């Protein structure tokens, strides 16, 4: 818990090496911390700071700006019901109420068994399927109150396990590519090619 | 006519096999092996490709403003979060290879040292699909060192956002990409093309904009420009949502159909529910001024919509019928901006919050008649004169995006507001 360990530590070090400035890895690494622990722990913040050469306060300052990062345990499934304009016009608020009564918790809270956290969310760009629901950032819609209860049932029975990983896991496809080309090398090569082209153009003019 | 959406008719449009079987990477080969970077940029300038993110700035001109420093970056903006906008969501999930091809072409044209695709964090499937497309591209020699033996090399890194509407604003996006809070930068400098990522010149282009590049390279800027009319060239993805029978993303040639066609046409929205009538629609995302039935015959063109007092923005059309409450709709839009304000500027942070609260109290039946003037006064403090295009008292345009919905609702549906206040409840509830 907390600090990256094992396979995740290897991944974290790779991510930190992807940018000309390692601080660019702060957000991806916070996602990785959530993948490990479900939320961004204080230990993870300290570890991320070490990996990118920032202070813990700087990492915390960045992370706390973003809605997707949680700083205390949340449910195994974070369920977002969109109530923004396009979903509202098609029953988003009614669905949020139904979701709340199905789960027995108001928006913003987690069920006592730790299975579900319910959130009211802003537009999730699924507006043609309004009202839309996201579960651990996997999209469903249009969803009505019966459909919502059914989804919850499927989550409880494990039927959707393959489709929806536990909270915190975003993209399951990892970068599979050769090491990055140093930007200095690309800059030098471009300067050389630009020079060649200019010389060719100049010799044509003569 | 389909350009960016051409491949979407195939169920497997996201796979490398389908991509390659439908002309994938032909444009990239052509650009890298037969054209100079300047020639590619010239075609894009000729095409008059307007940015598809919201501001509608010519992509070719933006490229032309790039400061020719030794280190430059390309950043693709896929932080799509404008309410009712869901076209990039479709593109990244359904044609990620086209995006990667377009980004590589753009990187070549501007001489990028590194390219980053910044995707909205909530797009979990999109992140998987784009990463897969990037991995595929490396595997087949379309990315990385010496692409297709052309001598051109570039890497693409995929960066997830983490839930912040403001990061769609290009300078906030760069801050976020540098590992900071998503605070828009103070202007000037107005363009990241002068000072962008890590202080170096940077081109920031939207996903749909970049996805148009392969077609433009293959068919030429003139062919693109021959579609549409005036400044509005090519095709565009329109995201139709709200109270319409067939919401969805429709690619249409610009200026060739009207809002009436889009909302009511058989091949598009197919009209409203039985016995409902249209009260208002929003032509370009939640921040654009509202349109009404008398605007239905305007063509879907950048300048045509601007001349009528609104904007085509992100190409998102939101339909409201007479069962909906205009007060509630305007309130929900204001609430969104209030919640998403980054908090740097007082007019946006405080003004947005107060408008949200006052609109809520009217909608819930606790409003007062003087609230209408109070709302307009607040709007005037955020964006002096409440004119279009909006005047700005803030670092970015998030704050000035609040007044259009409020002022449109009050001026058009004043009686509705007064009824809420008089009856002490929402008459539509």
- Cβ–Cβ of B124/A136 closer than 8 Å? yes
What is the predicted pLDDT for the residue at A76? 97
CATH fold of the domain at B326-423: de novo design (two linked rop proteins) (1.20.1440)
The per-residue pLDDT for A24 is 98
Beta bridge partners of B58: B50
DSSP letters spanning B272-315 = PSTT--EEEEESSSTTSPPB-GGGTTSBS-HHHHHHTTS--TTS
Helices (H), chain A: 6-16, 26-37, 42-52, 56-63, 85-88, 92-103, 145-157, 183-205
CA distance A80 to chain B (A): 11
CATH number listed for the domain at residues B228-321: 3.10.20.600
Residue A206's pLDDT is what?
A: 65
Share the mean pLDDT of chain A.
96
The torsion of the CA quartet B385, B389, B391, B395, rounded to 10 degrees, works out to: 150
Q: Are B109 and B44 in contact (CB under 8 A)?
A: yes
Residues 170-189 of A with CB under 8 A from B: 170-178, 180-181, 183, 185-187, 189
| Residue A131 clears pLDDT 90, i.e. is over it | yes
Q: Identify the CA nearest to B143 among candidates B333, A111, B135, A167.
A: B135
| Cα–Cα distance measured from residue A71 to residue A48, given in angstroms and rounded to the nearest whole number | 14
- Mutation pick from A65, A169, A175 vs chain B, by most beta carbons of B within 10 Å, is A65
Please tell me the predicted confidence (pLDDT) of residue A197.
Answer: 87
- Rounded distance between C-alpha atoms, residue B419 and residue B421, angstroms: 5
The per-residue pLDDT for B195 is 96
**Which DSSP helix (H) or strand (E) runs through B240?**
strand B235-242
CB B304 within 8 A of CB B56: no
Question: Which residue from B minimizes the CA distance to A94?
Answer: B429
- Edge-first strand order for the sheet with B248-253 is B248-253, B235-242, B316-321, B278-282
Answer for the pair B79, B167: CB distance below 8 angstroms, yes or no: yes
User: Contact at 8 Å (CB) between A47 and A5?
Assistant: no
Q: Which residues of A touch B151 (CB under 8 A)?
A: 189, 193
Looking at the DSSP bridge assignments, the partners of residue B249 are B239
Give φ, ψ of B327 to 5 degrees: -65, -45
What per-residue confidence (pLDDT) applies to B15?
98
By the CB < 8 Å criterion, does A199 face chain B? no
The pLDDT value given to residue A136: 97
Q: Give how far A62 is from chain B: nearest CA, Å.
A: 5
Q: What is the DSSP string of B44-62?
A: HHHHT-B-SSSS--BHHHH
CATH topology of domain B6-225: Rossmann fold (3.40.50)
* B contacts of A185 (beta carbons < 8 Å): 153
CA–CA min distance B41, chain A (Å): 15
Burial of residue A199 (number of CB atoms within 10 Å: 0-12, 13-18, 19+): exposed
Distance from CA of B226 to the nearest CA of A (A): 31
Nearest to B124 among A20, A137, A180 (CB): A137
- Could you identify the residue written with the tokens 């449910």? A75
* Domains assigned to chain A: 6-63 (1.10.10.1590), 77-157 (3.40.30.10)
As beta bridge partners, residue B240 has B248, B317
Give the closest of A54, A122, A183 to B165, CB-based: A122
Per domain, the residue ranges of chain B are 6-225, 228-321, 326-423
What is the mean pLDDT for each group of 10 consecutive residues in chain B (429 residues)? 96 98 98 97 98 94 94 97 97 98 98 98 98 98 98 98 97 98 95 96 98 98 97 97 98 98 98 98 95 98 96 96 97 98 97 98 97 97 94 95 95 97 95
Q: Is the pLDDT of residue A1 over 80?
A: no
- What ipTM does this complex have? 0.97
* Tens of pLDDT, residues A88-115: 999 999 999 999 999 999 999 999 999 9
Structure tokens that stand for A138 in this block: 């996997």
Alpha-carbon gap: B189 to the closest alpha carbon of chain A (Å): 22
Strand order in the sheet with B202-206: B156-160, B114-119, B73-78, B202-206
Q: Check: CB of residue A46 under 8 Å from CB of residue A14.
A: no
3-state secondary structure B162-217: CCCHHHHCHHHHHHHHCCCCCCCCCCCCCCCCCCCHHHCCEEEEEHHHHHCHHHHH
């Amino acid at each position: 818990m907390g600090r990256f360990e094992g396979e995740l530590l290897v991944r974290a070090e790779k991510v930190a090496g992807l940018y000309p400035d390692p601080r660019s890895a702060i957000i991806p690494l916070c996602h990785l911390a959530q993948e490990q622990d479900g939320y961004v722990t204080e230990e993870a913040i300290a570890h991320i700071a070490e990996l990118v050469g920032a202070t813990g306060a700087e990492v915390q300052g960045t992370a706390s700006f973003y809605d997707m990062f949680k700083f205390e345990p949340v449910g195994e499934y974070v369920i977002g019901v969109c109530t923004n304009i396009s979903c509202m016009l098609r029953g988003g608020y009614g669905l949020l109420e139904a979701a709340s009564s199905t789960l027995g918790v108001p928006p913003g809270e987690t069920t006592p068994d730790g299975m579900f956290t319910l959130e009211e969310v802003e537009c999730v760009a699924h507006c043609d399927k309004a009202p839309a629901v996201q579960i651990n950032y996997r999209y469903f819609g249009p969803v009505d109150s019966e459909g919502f209860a059914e989804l919850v049932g499927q989550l409880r029975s494990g039927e959707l396990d393959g489709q929806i990983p536990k909270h915190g896991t975003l993209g399951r496809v990892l970068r599979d590519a050769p090491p990055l080309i140093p930007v200095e090398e690309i800059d030098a090569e471009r300067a050389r090619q630009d020079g060649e082209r200019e010389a060719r153009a100049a010799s044509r003019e003569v | 006519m389909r350009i960016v959406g051409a491949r979407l008719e195939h169920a497997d449009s996201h796979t490398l096999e389908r991509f390659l079987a439908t002309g994938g990477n032909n444009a990239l080969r052509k650009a890298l092996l037969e054209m100079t970077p300047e020639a590619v940029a010239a075609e894009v300038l000729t095409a008059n490709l307007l940015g598809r993110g919201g501001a509608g700035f010519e992509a070719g001109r933006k490229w032309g403003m790039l400061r020719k420093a030794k280190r430059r970056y390309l950043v693709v903006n896929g932080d799509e979060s404008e309410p009712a906008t869901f076209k990039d969501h479709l593109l990244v999930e359904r044609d990620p290879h086209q995006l990667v091809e377009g980004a590589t072409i753009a990187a070549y044209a501007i001489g990028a040292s590194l390219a980053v695709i910044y995707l909205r964090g909530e797009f979990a499937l999109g992140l998987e699909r784009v990463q897969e497309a990037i991995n595929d591209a490396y595997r087949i020699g379309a990315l990385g060192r010496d692409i297709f033996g052309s001598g051109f090399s570039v890497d693409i890194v995929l960066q997830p956002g983490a839930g912040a509407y403001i990061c769609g604003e290009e300078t906030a996006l760069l801050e976020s990409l540098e590992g900071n809070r998503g605070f828009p930068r103070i202007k000037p400098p107005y363009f990241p093309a002068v000072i962008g990522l890590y202080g170096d010149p940077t081109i920031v282009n939207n996903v749909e904009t970049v996805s148009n590049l392969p077609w433009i390279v293959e068919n030429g800027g003139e062919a693109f420009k021959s579609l549409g009319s005036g400044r509005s060239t090519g095709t565009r993805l329109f995201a139709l949502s709200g109270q319409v029978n067939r919401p969805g993303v429709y690619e249409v040639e610009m200026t060739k159909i009207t809002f009436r066609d889009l909302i009511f046409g058989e091949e598009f929205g197919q009209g409203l529910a039985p016995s409902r009538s249209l009260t208002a629609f929003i032509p370009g995302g939640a921040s654009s001024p509202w349109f009404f039935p008398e605007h239905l015959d305007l063509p879907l063109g950048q300048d045509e919509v601007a001349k009528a007092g609104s904007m085509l923005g992100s190409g998102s059309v939101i339909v409201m019928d007479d069962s909906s409450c205009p007060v509630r709709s305007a309130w929900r839009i204001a609430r969104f901006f209030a919640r998403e304000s980054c908090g740097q500027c007082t007019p946006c942070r405080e003004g947005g919050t107060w408008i949200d609260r006052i609109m809520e109290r009217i909608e819930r039946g606790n409003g007062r008649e003087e609230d209408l003037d109070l709302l307009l006064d607040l709007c005037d403090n955020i964006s002096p004169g409440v004119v279009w295009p909006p005047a700005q008292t803030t670092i970015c345009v998030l704050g000035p995006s609040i007044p259009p919905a409020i002022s449109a609702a009050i001026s058009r549906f004043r009686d509705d507001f007064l009824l809420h206040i008089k009856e002490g409840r929402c008459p539509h509830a």
